Amino acid sequence: MKIIEKLKDGYIPYKVYEDVELQFKNFVKSVRVLPADFFHEPNEYFTLKAIYNPGEKKTFPNGGFEVYYGDGGCVYSYDLDQVIVHPYVLGIKTFGNKENTNEVKISKPKNTTPGKKGRKPLSVEEKAKREQEKALKHSKSNGKRGRPSKYTPEEKAKRLAKMEASKGGKRGRKKRI
């Protein structure tokens, strides 16, 4: 028995069983089952609700299983090749443990999107343009943090001289720049 990964609609991966022995296909209603997604977590408790053959139910055109999770709370749907009878029901206790994983081979699908990852580098012209804009911003700020000043140093000096010449505002207070 092997577990392989297939792609649904070309991009959604899911696990299925392949080359399954007949003892694992002996399904009876409410028997404990093991979905392929939970093969390495054998203590999860799934029970069989119903089996549907191909064409028997509208929501299962290719056939499938409805499985209860836990004490009958949630119902999950699986394809016919995604569920087996739980090995604990058959008396196999060392199934799914780490030392016994050599009997299950997991093959991953090939990368379907070849190519480079990450952001492409900027062209030389674009990089020079951005550096120039950055230098222009830094020249306006006078090296101080916060919002850049809207006045150049010459305009600022002229405004300061004009305020020094005036007496001030009401009650003799100086005006702000």
Using alpha carbons only, what angle is made at residue 30 by residues 1 and 96, rounded to the nearest 5 degrees? Answer: 30
All residue ranges of the chain with pLDDT < 50 are 99-102, 105-109
Average pLDDT value over all residues in the chain: 79
**pLDDT (0 to 100) of residue 125:** 95
- 77 and 65 in contact (C-beta within 8 Å)? yes
Other CB atoms within 10 A of residue 33 CB: 23
Contacts of 8-12 with C-beta under 8 Å, sequence gap 24+, read 10/112, 11/112
**pLDDT (0 to 100) of residue 108:** 45
**pLDDT (0 to 100) of residue 118:** 78
**pLDDT per residue as tens digits for the range 102-116:** 455 444 445 556 667
Whether pTM > 0.75 for this model: the answer is: no
Strand spans (E) along the chain? 2-8, 12-18, 32-35, 46-52, 64-69, 74-78, 83-85, 106-107
Domain ranges of the chain: 2-107, 124-166
- 84 and 33 in contact (C-beta within 8 Å)? yes
